[in-house]
């Protein structure tokens, strides 16, 4: 009888890593080095994507600022290509600092702008990020009420008590909070009674092809009911077709975001308009 070959694996006792594990580790090191160089060279930017009202897609409710890294040639590298590698490192906190600093500057520069900025729950304990937030909020009386901080479901659940205390502390400044990618992580429903989330952003996996996918319709309806029960504004992400948008409108979603309404851009119209007014 011919025995099958054993699968490659990480043997913890022998300390031998599989070829796949070595490749992943090498890839992460290369990514960390690339992001480190971009931070040192100040090659970080925010790309802005509109979040529109479902009842009137011509009206923008707010913009989401998405962090981007530029390589030495100026090519844009989206966050999905590096965030997983940097999230647990201090570089991840520096990325959050850069996003916050750029976003707060945009809020100070454009009085009509309402902006959401992504953050990790880990940054709540990072002194420089907190200092940037406090300093930015002090620049103008309306900045806090125009700022939305987005935290992913998985990040919030790492330190829920810390997130709750942080939200409570910022209530007086008018800052709103969005729970990003809801449905993709391990959020315990019981925490909704303690969190201060104002906005619930439904994960895109439930939105794609929703006009034809009965399972996505049922799941999205359930997520929307949670949002409405806890009086949270609901946003459907990754909306790409008119048929998806029409189905979401009929289901009662408050806002929509996706390529159908605009891709993320480093040169948003609102900033060009502000530049013309100050020229």
User: What integer pLDDT is reported at residue 118 of this predicted model?
Assistant: 96
Residue 240 in this model has a pLDDT that exceeds 90: yes
Q: Helix, strand, or coil here: 42?
A: coil
Which run of H or of E encompasses 24?
helix 19-40
Strand partners, 235: 201, 255
Using CB atoms within 10 Å of the CB of residue 270, give its burial: 0 to 12 exposed, 13 to 18 middle, 19+ buried. middle
pTM for this prediction: 0.86
| Per-residue pLDDT reduced to its tens digit, 100-118 | 999 999 999 999 999 999 9
Residue 18 in this model has a pLDDT that exceeds 50: no
Please report, rounded to a whole number, the percentage of residues in the chain having pLDDT higher than 90: 68
CATH numeric code, 27-267:
3.20.20.450
Least confident of 1-10, 33-42, 245-254: 1-10
| Per-residue pLDDT reduced to its tens digit, 126-138 | 999 999 999 999 9
* ∠ CA 77-83-88, rounded to 5°: 150
At 159, list the tokens: 């330190």
What's the whole-number mean pLDDT along residues 265-276? 77
Question: Under a CB-based contact definition with an 8 Å cutoff, are residues 25 and 19 in contact?
Answer: no
Q: For residue 192, what pLDDT band results from cuts at 50, 70 and 90?
A: confident
What's the whole-number mean pLDDT along residues 249-261? 98
Give the Cα separation of 269 and 163 in Å (integer). 33
Q: For residue 275, what pLDDT band results from cuts at 50, 70 and 90?
A: very low
Residue 274 in this model has a pLDDT that exceeds 80: no
């Amino acid at each position: 009888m011919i025995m099958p070959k054993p699968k490659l694996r990480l043997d913890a006792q022998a300390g031998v890593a599989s070829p796949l594990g070595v490749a992943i580790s090498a890839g992460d090191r290369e990514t960390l080095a690339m992001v480190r160089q971009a931070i040192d060279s100040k090659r970080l930017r925010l790309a802005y994507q509109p979040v529109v009202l479902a009842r009137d897609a011509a009206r923008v409710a707010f913009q989401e600022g998405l962090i981007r890294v530029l390589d030495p040639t100026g090519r844009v590298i989206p966050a999905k290509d590096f965030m997983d590698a940097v999230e647990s490192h201090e570089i991840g906190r520096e990325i959050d600092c850069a996003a916050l600093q750029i976003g707060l500057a945009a809020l100070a520069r454009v009085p009509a702008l309402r902006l959401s900025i992504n953050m990790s729950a880990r940054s709540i304990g990072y002194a420089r990020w907190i200092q940037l937030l406090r300093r930015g909020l002090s620049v103008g009386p309306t900045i806090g009420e125009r700022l939305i901080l987005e935290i992913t479901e998985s990040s919030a659940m790492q330190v829920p008590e810390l997130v709750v205390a942080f939200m409570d502390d910022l209530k007086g400044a008018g800052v709103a909070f969005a729970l990003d990618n809801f449905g993709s992580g391990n959020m315990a429903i019981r925490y909704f009674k303690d969190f201060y989330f104002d906005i619930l952003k439904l994960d895109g996996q439930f939105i794609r092809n929703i006009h034809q996918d009965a399972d996505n319709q049922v799941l999205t309806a359930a997520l929307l009911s949670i949002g409405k029960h806890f009086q949270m504004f609901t946003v459907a992400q990754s909306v790409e077709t008119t048929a998806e948008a029409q189905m979401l409108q009929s289901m009662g979603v408050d806002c929509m975001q996706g390529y159908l309404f605009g891709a993320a851009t480093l040169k948003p119209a609102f900033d060009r308009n502000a530049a013309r007014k100050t020229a």
